[in-house]
Chain A
Amino acid sequence: MARRAQPLSPALGVVAALGVAVLILGALAAVFWRAEAGRGLGPADWQAVRFTVVQAALSAGVSVGFALPVARALARRRFPGRAALIALMGAPFILPVIVAVLGLLAVFGRSGWISQGLSLIGLPPLRIYGLHGVVLAHVFFNLPLATRLILQGWQEIPAERFRLAAQLGAGPGAIWRLLEWPMLRRTAPGALAVIFAICLTSFAVALTLGGGPRATTVELAIYQAFRFDFDLARAALLSVLQIVLTGVAAALALRAAMGEGFGVGLDRAIRRWDAQGWVLKGQDGLAIALAALFLLLPLAAIATEGVAGLIALPASVWGAALNSLLIAAGSTAILLLIALPMAVAVALMRHPGWVEGAGLLGMAVSPLVIGTGAFIVIYPVADPAALALPVTALVNALMALPFALRILVPRARAVIGDFGRLALSLNMGRRAFVRLVLWPRMRPQIGFAAGLAAALSMGDLGVIALFADQEVATLPLQIYRLMGAYRMEAAAGAALLLLTLSVLLFWLFDRGGRRHAEA
């Protein structure tokens, strides 16, 4: 069968994917190249692999499982403050780990709010530390992402379908079977894969909430190999293991994600005639309230702790905040330049697996290994400190790439599938198609992806720690420095500043993308 003609070509995206793969695998190769013969993998490593996979699978499963009712409720309901809630719910995802963990423990810890409440009625404190604690924390980080990804799937069902369903008298059950379930089969596996991949490289969260060395992950083993043993071969080998695990998960997810799209609609505001009953309203209200409580309470804890410190922030924190904003802007620009062509390529290609795989690499490879690889490559030709900001922006963009693709690809596929032939028959050129069809129809997704990338880049400690010197620091790095010098109050203030800036940035992009949509 001949290739289907399309107004766009996948060439740019293929080049971008190749570039990403070369950058990341090149960094990994540099680490291997620089390594001396090291220790291979022992039984303790395989135990770490087992724990890593179990916690990542559980975390991904629970995150997506809880995201279903929340996304469904948000898709069916309109209420004042809905947009603000959705934006704020994205916050846990973008917090530096140490801040998020302290916020989480202020609520769920041994002397957290819940335990204090329990002690009032004579009950023992919560036992948060253990595998369930690790999963709880990962769900805290990833439930918002899963919710957004799945909510997006819901919003991509054209309003006409719900209208038709209502005319045919389809109840919630029938709508679930005919519209929602097929949509989920296409969206949920991708969300599972990407969350699984994030949780694979977890380290500080898994260790702290896991309650001890039982909760050793592969990332910790990489850290140890690099810092204490300076065994680069081992660090790189463990990184390859992470790539393999992510690859297997991604392959399984892509295989499971099947089904055709819903076709074209007229972009009417969605109305749901099927969800008017009091029981359903109650159900949805409960799902939204519980999720909001679960996600917002720890954020409230961070905010309360931070207010006092916010007044007396050292000047260096503001400088660091500016650096972080610069990195976030650069990183967002780089991300869009890579992700958009790649999303188009995936939508056009018949076997786009490797392009998606290249996109996942940024998540799969330990930041420490990417950073070290970049350092090894840069050091002979330039001063790494001088390149700290651009390199950090690039690496942050690569790490946000898997999320951006998850957000952009389904929509790009739908737009090209629905309008490609029409555009061809109108003899529409590439530019006109991008300007008149692709851009306006993908704006909400582009805004969401850009917001996520910007916020993620703000909060990530990334590789800056490896490159930074006295002058160049980012806000997360400055928070760690303040904490390392006993200045917990100032650190809490800086964390609140970071939280505010990230949410604001996310909201700006996200809102900008959806300006016309969503009445």
Chain B
Amino acid sequence: MKYLAFAAGLITSAAGQMAAAETPVLTVYTYDSFVSDWGPGPAIEKAFEADCGCDLKFVAAGDGAALLARLRLEGARSEADVVLGLDTNLTAAARDTGLFAPVEVAAEYTLPLEWSDSTFIPYDWGYFAFVQNRDLVAPHSFRELADSDLKIVIQDPRSSTPGLGLLMWVKAAYGDEAPAIWAGLSDNIVTVTKGWSEAYGLFLDGEADMVLSYTTSPAYHLIAEEDDSKTTALFDEGHYMQVEVAGKLAASDQPELADRFLQFMVTDAFQSVIPTANWMYPAVTPAAGLPKGFETLTQPKTALLFPSDEAAALRDPALAEWLAALSR
């Protein structure tokens, strides 16, 4: 009997090793801050690996724009099965590469707008907004901001995703009047930075009264630092949205696993990590609701967002207007 049990043990452990050798690997390309220790990556990896019988591997590549550039460099030979972290300003270009496959995910999105994209699924979103100290009298529109003496820091739309978001915000709110708004804002803009981090750092160091960020930014200070001194200005013309999406690569060698991961992305296990790790709104509000503190955030009355192909078409002319207005 002893020998039998020993033999059985040998066999099962060998089988176990074989299973380990064949554990499928799902490769997910995403941006830097998603996978860092303090981002949502580690918790999500643990939750998904708990019952997928697979190895979830995150590969980080800069930010959303760098992510798409890397995919285009690698083409159809890319290791990536899923890409997580593009936004609606990039999805048109991403779709045009022909690298993405259609996906079907069943979800009750709690986005302020109807979602009808068959290639990319949203996993979180936020409103762009100007962050300021609570004691500052906030402007209620771009016009009021332009007429005030307030100093703002913004990001360059040529190198930064929020910068591009602001460009779209002004365009969505003012259309053909956008150049006039930019001309009015030009004396409020202290400087334009390469990326979000520089701008936010400058604001925290007191270089400007306001910085372009998200309505959810004060939640970080409130929840992680117990500091309620930051808030965002509510603009009457509405706030432009950033919707972050994921998609499946057509050349994936793990298409079923990729589908499973995309479906997992809209479950509570994924969505409940988002608010306090990515500091954005979850695309599907978890059953337990939003963390305490989120109810204090500014609630825009109007959500603005261009469909992705419109955003792609508007980008170059809007950029030219921006450059002309601010280069004077």
Could you tell me which A residues sit within 8 Å of B by CB distance?
34, 44, 98, 101-102, 105-106, 109-111, 129, 203-204, 207-214, 220, 223-224, 226-228, 230, 314-316, 372, 375-376, 379-380, 385, 465-466, 468-470, 477, 480-488
Contact = CB atoms under 8 A, between A and B. Distances in A.
Interface stretch (B12-20, B198-206, B284-292): B198-206
A214 B326 contact: yes
Contacts of B201: 98, 102, 483, 488
Contacts of A482: 36, 38
Contacts of B217: 486
B59 A470 contact: yes
A459 to B, nearest CB: 16
B38 A314 contact: yes
Contacts of B77: 379-380
Contacts of A226: 69
Contacts of B59: 385, 469-470
Contacts of B33: 481, 484-485
Contacts, number: 143
Nearest to A477: B32
SS class, residues of chain A in contact with chain B:
helix
B25 interface: no
A484 B190 contact: no
A487 B202 CA distance: 14
A110 B151 contact: yes
Contact of B35 (A466, A470, A483): A470
A470 B62 CA distance: 11
B224 A486 contact: yes
A236 to B, nearest CB: 13
B235 interface: no
Given A223-B159, A224-B159, A486-B220, A211 B192 contact: yes
Given A111-B207, A385-B59, A208 B191 contact: yes
A364 B37 CA distance: 36
Given A213-B326, A224-B159, A470-B35, A230 B68 contact: yes
Most chain A CB within 10 A, of B35, B164, B201, B207, is at: B207
Most chain A CB within 10 A, of B73, B164, B204, B326, is at: B73
B37 A212 contact: no
A209 B205 contact: no
A105 B322 contact: no
A7 to B, nearest CB: 48
A470 B33 CA distance: 10
Given A220-B159, A227-B65, A483-B200, A44 B323 contact: yes
A129 B38 contact: no
A109 B191 CA distance: 11
Contacts of B36: 316, 481-482, 485
